[in-house]
Amino acid sequence: MSSQLLALGSVATPNRNLKTTTQTPHYHRIFIPSHVYTHPSAILLELCTSLKELHQILPLIIKNGFYNEHLFQTKLISLFCKFSSLNEAARVFESVEHKLDVIYHTMLKGYAKNSTLRDALAFYHRMRCDGVRPVVYDFTHLLQLCGDNLDLRRGREIHGHLMSNGFQSNLFAMNAVVNFYVKCVQIEDAYKVFERMLQRDFLSWNLMVAGYAQNGLARRAVWLVLQMQEDGHRPDCVTVVSVLPAVADIRDLRIGKSIHGYAFRAGFESKVLVVTAILDMYFKCGSVRNSRLVFEGMCSKDCVSWGTMINGYAQNGESEEAFATFLKMLDQGVEPTSVSMVGALHACADLGDLERGRFVHKLLEQQKLDSDVLVMTCLVLMYSKCKRVDIAASVFRNFKQKTIVTWNAMISGYAQNGCVNEALKLFCEMQSHGIKPTSFTLVSVLTAVGDLLVTRLVKWIHGLAIRTLMDKNVFVCTALASTYAKCGAIQTARKLSDMMQERDVITRNAMIDEYHVGEVPY
């Protein structure tokens, strides 16, 4: 951008006094010799790839008297920002006596990419006070930062500034606004902006499709793809990858097959991401056979597609096939990832195969995956399912980065193995660490307490559920009713069952059969 502005040979630039920003800028002309652009210093800057190289080039620029040239100043600021050295970029910026607008825009981009939202907005305010008219990229960078920080209030303010500066018809700007609202989970606001756009491109449609799909509005995502086609846009591979998870969520195999057919006709089956999304869709729709056929037909398989197959088999009860696929992946020299490890551990847990579970445990340690929270949580579950709760407890104690899911896995492991006292002790320890229980935690503890047949403990957990506003949760209420019934408090169990607003088969059977909590999802 700077070279385009300066290549004319002379440019008009305001003489801005930063201390008295309210005065009217005075413009004068600066002439830049053409040989500046072909000097070795300029060429080296264009080829610069690291902060170390930039520091080596800087003395050459100063020695040749180019440090005060706007071309070099803009490029230096841009490179310092690119290499995450914002302080050095700011020093160059402050040293410029007559600042071109492009230098402000470059510096604002640097703040947006390398600093806090607060600092970026402060510089934006300074830029406006200095009389610099914002360009569209200033707003898109700020909206990106607001979205990343989920700052809805400031993002709305930037949206307002964007509109007041006349960019409401700019496609690039309005895509940034849609993206901001999607990131902040304001899907309706995003759609209102999308609907009012005078023109839309593939990015506009794909942002909305992904926004609906990622926020539980699967049917609207599918509907929008149909609208996209009616508007004359043929879905691209990004659209397909975005909408397939929505199809998986609603488990509509017919629509899934239709999208698969479209992807095949459009030539997207050569793209690994598309095929992986198709694999995942078929597995979640319960069509293991179709997943297998698609996978076997893939020309190029990466660690993601292997992981999808292993997890898909495991989640569909094909544990032997899942582990066999895991071994086949290793035989082909593909390094296991956390995803494939989780699938393999899931399979071992379902099979109750301790030997194969130990093999996976050793392998994940070799691959340095023993710091991954999800992998280690699944490892705890695997040992618990294989009746080695002692090893599960050792893994749990040695793991430093525990989350609520990890605590839940260990409490559930104790409960499933009849270690009631250990489950209750760990539950109390979790609370002493300031970790708030979830509905799954309470159900796991109630499963353990049911074996003691002590009504007092059930009442204690019931009180905790009320205080944490989980007494209306269908799973917690069902577990409470079942546990009260086990302890002989039939009337209380009946009352809880009658009060429940949401009933299902499990709820109706809770007074008859023992309720048992499901495992933590892999």
Q: What is the mean pLDDT of the chain?
A: 85
Average pLDDT (235-264) is 93
The pLDDT confidence band at residue 508, using thresholds 50, 70 and 90, is very low
Residue 55 has pLDDT above 70, yes or no: yes
d(CA 243, CA 259): 9
Query: Higher-confidence residue: 500 or 169?
Result: 169
The mean pLDDT of 359-370, rounded to a whole number, is 92
Q: Is the pLDDT of residue 354 over 70?
A: yes
- Choose between 231 and 11: higher pLDDT: 231
Assess contact for 278 and 295: CB atoms under 8 A: no
Report the predicted TM-score, pTM, of the whole model to 2 decimal places.
0.74
| Residue 501 banded pLDDT, cuts 50, 70, 90 | low
Could you tell me the residue ranges of all domains in the chain? Answer: 1-132, 301-401, 420-522
Average pLDDT over residues 285-308: 91
Say if residue 6's pLDDT is above 60.
Answer: no
Of the two residues 64 and 290, the one the predictor is more confident about is: 290
Mean pLDDT of 381-403: 93
CA 144 vs. chain centroid, Å, equals: 15
CATH 1.25.40 fits 301-401, yes or no: yes
Q: Beta-strand (E) ranges in 297-430?
A: none
Residue 193 reports pLDDT greater than 50? yes
* Reported confidence tier of residue 14, pLDDT bands at 50, 70, 90: very low
Half-sphere exposure of 64 (CA within 13 A, CB side): 14
- Please determine, for residue 461, whether its predicted confidence score (pLDDT) is greater than 90: no
In three-state secondary structure terms, 157 is helix
Angle between helices 455-467 and 439-449 (to 10 degrees): 170
State yes or no: pLDDT of 522 exceeds 80: no
Query: Could you tell me the pLDDT band of residue 68, with boundaries at 50, 70 and 90?
Result: confident
Q: What is the pLDDT, as a whole number, of residue 521? A: 40
Q: How confident is the model at residue 448 (pLDDT cuts 50, 70, 90)?
A: confident
Provide the percentage of residues in the chain whose pLDDT is more than 70: 88
Contact 169, 188 (CB under 8 A): no
